[in-house]
Structure 1
């Protein structure tokens, strides 16, 4: 993860980001130094050791090219010690240039503060202290070892006026470099705040899901006996009231609903097995989707769904995941309930697969969505149903997200109701893939 990390109570850049900002600031420094040296030498007519100075700048440019190649090819391998070495190179180059152009009397000597500032913000305390102490020592060394500059031409106003001009140029360079650095730091902080916000949101959602999973496990354990008792009672009533056709139809409906409940409990057991890395049953994608649709039809006998498999539908073998089945059922249930609550019975489901991505588009005939619900959908528990708990969409969104997919809610293009679009990569579901057990284990 790129960003800023917390160490010793102070926020600092990750090594790759510190190396990146050093590389770009070095570009500015190289151009600024080159222009200044050439202007002083040819514009002011002051004799500078141009050969050695240009050689130093060329070496610094070559080093920066290596730094950019490193950032492009293997950024994950960059360490804090490599960043420290980058700063040491910059400090050494600055010292050499100052030593060849007047030493401590050079107005650009205050540029030592730039690597000190960068080290303080971007590096751990010990390494920042190394840069600070080194800059202090090298500044002191320049007091005794340097090549003096020749006296400026009187037309320039003497040595003091030239020094003032140099200070102004130094200010321009420093201001530019500080602006680049602060802008970059502000951008990193904004991205870090966004990541922290998403992490807090994800943690809250995961805590809710774990709590719901605990309750579901207890409920599954307790529901087995009541469901068996209800099945026995239904069978007895069928035998005792064979002549009552109306009752027989009602008992048939109750029996089908009980079958759905029992199948759901079996799926919970399969989910537990999947969480233990035992895996799920292998089925074709089309069979798995058809089973979900059939279960959904049984749960909502009042609806009149229109289900269409859009061609070409590329079928693949997948490892059946019960948690994913219930996620899709939750979304289908929401659509059915939205239509029924609005006094309608229609739900359209379009299903496509290219072998890599499964897409379900669900159009209901409900009242549509308000903007607030769309904004928070699937991230926080909320509901528009008087008796609802609002957990279905949260669970569905979390499960689909676990497999690398996404759930999108929008108003239906038909002008009435809502559209739910589920895009699910099949890579982690394909039978025999390493991603299947990994995705299950992260539940």
Structure 2
């Protein structure tokens, strides 16, 4: 559910703002106008200046239309943005056709709209714009007006050089759009996953604050309840022998006393939580995170390893609880029959190893486990894929000072292994809820 929510949010947030596209187009229009004026007036080259001016004027008209049709904060849909960028490619291609085709040094700007699309549009739209650029570049490599030059002189560009320019444009187009798309996707995925992490942390924090709210509410309700109880007690002492209302007053008095006891317990929640619930021993922690998962038919075995010194005490930190719980839940999803949690400690560190008897991690992406939305188990495994949940768990556990390592067990009867280790010093610095 969280993944779908953040994917929908990401789909909207990745859309181009109309203002951004309009400003980029104004910059392109200004550059085209300056270039044409410089070539025509300063250099004195002859070329179809009127058709070029008409093309630039059409682009200006489109920009004015976009400015008035969309508000400042509107985000363009993928289809609209693709259409506008496609029109820009067509306009660039027409200008290049009138000014020498691929022989024109500015022919490289033909790929600019496609590069812009790589950072904000879905893959199919990027491919469409890339194909559009390749088609127009292929046409311009053969058909175009002569390159503007000094009167009475012409430039004969070798065909091999034109083909080389075409190859360079296409290669640069594919490289920049693929690179830009991957970088933008990874940035968005990381941002979405971190947002999900913060959302979970806020949820855990709100839950941890309920005892304080309950204590505050009990404190506020204590005074009026004491007044009610005093009045009821006086009424009962005066009218307890009245057969009509004596029993009712006795019931009312007992219920007010019950309310008072409930409020007294609520007022002690925060102090009790601080004294008794703010820390957990290692075994208590393992029992707490594993107990809700024992009802799924998978044996969860806790094995003791080498221990030196006192048992470690963990702060009741929501990040540690959620992170360990998520790792165990993934192990339950993929295990066939059992999970083993091995623990050991000494005076310097605490270590856990979570082992399941499933199929293990896919070796081809073992090094990328923990990245957002990376499915890391074999396709024939049972259970859901590892992705955003594992990223959140890894991030929260690392914030608590844990070192995590993922691998496949060297023993054939087992599948995946997750190794976690904390230094004793890091546990003392980790905040409780």
TM over 0.5: no
TM-score by length of 1: 0.38
Give TM-score, length-normalised by structure 2: 0.39
